[in-house]
Structure 1
Amino acid sequence: MTRHPFLDRQRLGRELKDTLRLAGPLVLGQLSAVGMNVIDTVLAGHLNARTLAAVAVGTSIWSLTLVLSLGVMMAVPPSVAQLHGAGRHGAIGALLRQALWLAGSMGVVLGLATAFGGPLLFDLIGVDPVLATDVRHFLHAIAFGAPAMALYFALRGLSEGIGLTRPTMYFGLLGPALLAPVGYVLMYGRLGLPALGAAGAGIATALALWVQMLCMLCYIAHHPAYRHLQPFGRRERPNPRAIGELLRIGAPMGVTVFMEASLFVAVALIIGRLGADVVASHQVAINVASCAFMIPLGIAMATTVRVGHAVGRNDGEGVKMAGLAGFALTLAIQCVSAGIFFGFPHAIAALYTRDAVVIALAAQLLVLAGMFQLSDGIQVAANGALRGLKDTRTPMVITLLAYWGVGMPVGWWLTFPGGFGARGMWIGLIAGLSMAAVLLTLRFHRQAARFHTAVDEGQRRDAAAGRA
């Protein structure tokens, strides 16, 4: 009599250990990406208020380019992971080469959209004309980094897909390490160079992205761990079928992360109508919540790889166990985060500002952030597990419904007709994230069970054919 896979503690322990091993470097890699925005903000803030405002507006627009690139290139890790799990190493190099064609072309398009479409967007938003020139210069400069960023995500996806996540940490940390000195020199006009302000921040970020990508490229090309994949073993023209398959998986993920990011941009714009103190308190709380989110996001990325490996080797129990490990780790981490938010909201807010009013308002929002830690963590964990199954279209519909069909309407109603102020928008976020968590978890349970059944039926057919 076999035990239910969810009760196999020994196997669960191994899965937890393997997921943690993958997740640690990924968490640091994600935090380093946030660190680049923090560095731009700190350097701009110490220069002058105008530069800080321009970089803040420009960064919010650039973030949409970033999440679109990341979302589409999220197709690479599960695709590589399934091939790796199946032992089809020869096909991984060909997949990477097609992913690079897609990333390069997408990066050029997104770069042009950032440089020329970004200014149209902030004109529609109604950005202060005093800032418009600096924002435009920032976007024109940082747009040159869009192709490098997309290519870097593709290369990173290859490494993560075969279970090598430390390069994500190494080259992720390289970005902020380069950005800090280069940004300082260009923005402040040191070493005999003119002070470029916001434009200098854009140039420095673009340069850091290109260095990150080129270093990752050289690492994969020369490190022995990738040699059997022959990632650059031959030159290939774009293959419409292979690129189409990547887009079939990646485009829904791109839409999902774009709509999630745009939701938070919309929340910030709505809260912007409530006054300077409220805006400042929201900025503090959302910055803390965003940093905390990088931990479950890293675990979700590791879960994608573990589920993908199990799919590749036709291991139905392995798929369930990988998903369970991801959920368990996420719940543990998010309980700690929630406890910190509940226990020390005023102390956390005081790290950002000395303004007593802002601290009090931010503390209220941090308590609400503590309330959505579990739902936020579970929804991203479920999404990561579903990506390992290459299930992306239905999760896209679920997240759109949860974020924009529930979260935004509830938040808007509570903020204005309900009179809750900024807390209303955050309660709306709790509602939307909670719905996403429930529906995505049910979706993974159903898809994992379906895959397990398909594997069992295939094994029975093979056994019957063998006896015949």
Structure 2
Amino acid sequence: MESSLRTERKSFRFVKIVMPILITQVALYMVTFFDILMTGRYDTYHLAGVTIGSSFWVPVYTGLAGILMSLTPIIAQHIGGRRKAEVRPSVQQGIYVSIALAAVVFALILFIFFPIIRSMSLEAPVRAVSIDYLKGMSVGLAPLFAYTVLRSFFDALGSTRVSMFIILISAPINILLNYLLIYGHFGFPELGGAGAGYASGFTYWIVFGIAAAVALSGKPYRQYELLRHWQLPRWTYWKETLFIGVPIGMSIFIETSIFSVVTLLMSSYSTETISAHQVALNFTSLMYMIPLSISMGATILVGQSIGANLSSDAKQYSRLGILFAIGFSVVAIVVLLVFREPIASLYTVDPAIIVLASQFFIFGALFQLSDAVQAPIQGALRGYKDVNTTFIVGFLSLWVIGLPIGYLTATFTNLGPFGYWIGLIAGLTIGAITLSFRLRAVQKRIERELL
């Protein structure tokens, strides 16, 4: 860990860390993005089916994968504190945890999600596509979680470009598989929305295979000997991973599941409304990759700074993350307001869906600023290993405040489905304000401890 740097060099270091993370996140998100985009071009019913299926998949996967994100600050602090010997067992035990989490998700899909979908008041084609889409995604569960462990290893070392190159290689493969399996070209079966799920599942195996090869044979990483002296599962490491990771995972689950719950509540509206909501949510989620990447960069740099007892550096990296994210949010708001119709037209040729999606984009623009403030603060707090507050604040702001406001607005005003987005905006804003106070308190506590 280098000594304290000037602000200009910290800004450069931050950007150097974040840019590969951003490209990685965008490319990784493109898997779901192109599932929605290419399915929307195939058929409206299949688009609605993938929308319902992904509403179950995204919050559960991201929430449980978030547990594995605890490895990033854990390993980053080992690196900052020059405890290289602790890296290998942390990764090995993380692989064990990833296998256990994959088994949990598979059980949830099989025994809970499928029965729920079958009981929902959906049109028969939409219900069938939703189930088949989740079956396809399940093919890649184990490698996807295991890859998350290896990515945490790369990122904690500051080698964020490795994850970037891996995803850039695999993203075109996913698009090709979508093309073959959704539309049935070149003799492949025409599976529609289900084909998008299987294409993603197969892609996750490719991603893991490349990451494993790099981790084991790449020159900077061989020294950690990740496969040597392989240990049996040890509760000591599991405890640290879960103690830090469960609040992170729960926090992410709370944030992502609120959008899925809103989508499921909209199942009482028309198929066009569900599809338009998903179009708007899909694109705004793509734009969220920038503040999310800044958040992940803040976790790495704050974690390394704290591990090296450089509290002033950690504070400056936190501030830089917030400033970068706010700057982007201004650009995002302009894009969503000015280009909302052309963006909606990328997803579908159905004029009714385009009109509705354009209206959803207006509300999507309104919560960009709150997202931009909240995300880097969460990342900084994770770098400090302060993770419980983000979980509690997320639950209260989104579920206790945001969702009821959304439901009441959608039910008792003429805003209809747009009322749910009003609730999301209110919850995100309250969460951003609360977490900003928490970050200041944590920074002051750390400074007192290091005096």
- TM bin (shorter chain): over 0.9
Correspondence for 2:245 among 245, 250, 253: 250
- Consecutive unaligned residues of structure 1, counting only runs of 5 or more, are 1-7, 457-468
Q: Does 2:113 align with 1:152?
A: no
Q: Which amino acid aligns with 2:413?
A: G
How many angstroms apart in 2 are the aligned matches of 1:418 and 1:432?
19
- Evaluate the alpha carbon distance shift between residue 126 and residue 275 of structure 1 in structure 2; reply closer, same or farther with a 3 A threshold: closer
Following superposition, the deviation at residue 428 of structure 1 comes to 1.2
TM-score by length of 2: 0.92
How many angstroms apart in 2 are the aligned matches of 1:179 and 1:277?
27
Following superposition, the deviation at residue 413 of structure 1 comes to 1.5
- Evaluate the alpha carbon distance shift between residue 202 and residue 366 of structure 1 in structure 2; reply closer, same or farther with a 3 A threshold: closer
Which moved further from structure 2: 23-32 or 196-205? Answer: 196-205
Correspondence for 1:302 among 285, 297, 300: 297
How many angstroms apart in 1 are the aligned matches of 2:191 and 2:339?
39
How many angstroms apart in 1 are the aligned matches of 2:204 and 2:104?
17
Native 8 Å contact 2:180 2:186 kept in 1: yes
Q: Does 2:74 align with 1:79?
A: yes
Partner of 2:395: 400
Correspondence for 2:415 among 415, 420, 438: 420
Following superposition, the deviation at residue 199 of structure 1 comes to 4.2
Correspondence for 2:31 among 22, 31, 36: 36
How do residues 93-108 of structure 1 correspond to structure 2 at under 5 angstroms? 93-108=88-103
Question: For the pair shown, which has the larger CA radius of gyration, 1 or 2?
Answer: 1
Q: Which amino acid aligns with 2:229?
A: R
- Consecutive unaligned residues of structure 2, counting only runs of 5 or more, are none
How many angstroms apart in 1 are the aligned matches of 2:359 and 2:43?
29
- Evaluate the alpha carbon distance shift between residue 282 and residue 137 of structure 1 in structure 2; reply closer, same or farther with a 3 A threshold: closer
Native 8 Å contact 2:69 2:248 kept in 1: yes
TM-score by length of 1: 0.89
Following superposition, the deviation at residue 254 of structure 1 comes to 1.2
Native 8 Å contact 2:403 2:424 kept in 1: yes
Instruction: State percent identity of aligned pairs.
Output: 28
Native 8 Å contact 1:12 1:325 kept in 2: no
Correspondence for 1:174 among 148, 160, 169: 169
Correspondence for 1:211 among 206, 224, 248: 206
How do residues 224-243 of structure 1 correspond to structure 2 at under 5 angstroms? 224-243=219-238
SS of residue paired to 2:158 = coil
Deviations 1:35-88 (A, max 9, x none): 112322344344444444433332222223321232111101111111111111
Q: Which amino acid aligns with 1:415?
A: A
Following superposition, the deviation at residue 422 of structure 1 comes to 2.9
How many angstroms apart in 2 are the aligned matches of 1:433 and 1:196?
38
How many angstroms apart in 2 are the aligned matches of 1:280 and 1:199?
17
Partner of 1:386: 381
Native 8 Å contact 1:187 1:200 kept in 2: yes
Deviations 1:287-326 (A, max 9, x none): 2211110111011000000000011001111111110111
- How large is the Cα RMSD of the aligned pairs? 2.2
Which moved further from structure 2: 18-27 or 305-314? Answer: 18-27
How many angstroms apart in 1 are the aligned matches of 2:215 and 2:140?
20
Q: Does 2:322 align with 1:330?
A: no
Native 8 Å contact 2:49 2:127 kept in 1: yes
- Evaluate the alpha carbon distance shift between residue 107 and residue 188 of structure 1 in structure 2; reply closer, same or farther with a 3 A threshold: same
The count of aligned residue pairs is 448
Native 8 Å contact 2:41 2:347 kept in 1: no
Deviations 1:234-260 (A, max 9, x none): 211111111111011111111111121
- Evaluate the alpha carbon distance shift between residue 342 and residue 188 of structure 1 in structure 2; reply closer, same or farther with a 3 A threshold: closer
Partner of 1:3: none
Following superposition, the deviation at residue 451 of structure 1 comes to 0.8
Partner of 1:461: none
Which moved further from structure 2: 343-352 or 30-39? Answer: 343-352
SS of residue paired to 1:416 = helix
Q: Which amino acid aligns with 1:209?
A: Y
How many angstroms apart in 2 are the aligned matches of 1:12 and 1:50?
52
Which moved further from structure 2: 343-352 or 18-27? Answer: 343-352
- Evaluate the alpha carbon distance shift between residue 283 and residue 136 of structure 1 in structure 2; reply closer, same or farther with a 3 A threshold: closer
Correspondence for 1:15 among 7, 10, 19: 10
How many angstroms apart in 2 are the aligned matches of 1:365 and 1:49?
18
Native 8 Å contact 1:47 1:188 kept in 2: yes
How do residues 43-62 of structure 1 correspond to structure 2 at under 5 angstroms? 43-62=38-57
SS of residue paired to 1:426 = helix
- Evaluate the alpha carbon distance shift between residue 380 and residue 134 of structure 1 in structure 2; reply closer, same or farther with a 3 A threshold: same
Native 8 Å contact 1:90 1:230 kept in 2: no
Deviations 1:374-413 (A, max 9, x none): 1111111111111101111121001000001111111112
Which moved further from structure 2: 98-107 or 138-147? Answer: 138-147
Following superposition, the deviation at residue 364 of structure 1 comes to 3.6
Deviations 1:310-350 (A, max 9, x none): 11001111111110111111111112112223344444444
- Evaluate the alpha carbon distance shift between residue 73 and residue 180 of structure 1 in structure 2; reply closer, same or farther with a 3 A threshold: same
Native 8 Å contact 1:54 1:135 kept in 2: yes
Native 8 Å contact 2:55 2:263 kept in 1: no
Following superposition, the deviation at residue 177 of structure 1 comes to 1.5
- Evaluate the alpha carbon distance shift between residue 291 and residue 187 of structure 1 in structure 2; reply closer, same or farther with a 3 A threshold: closer
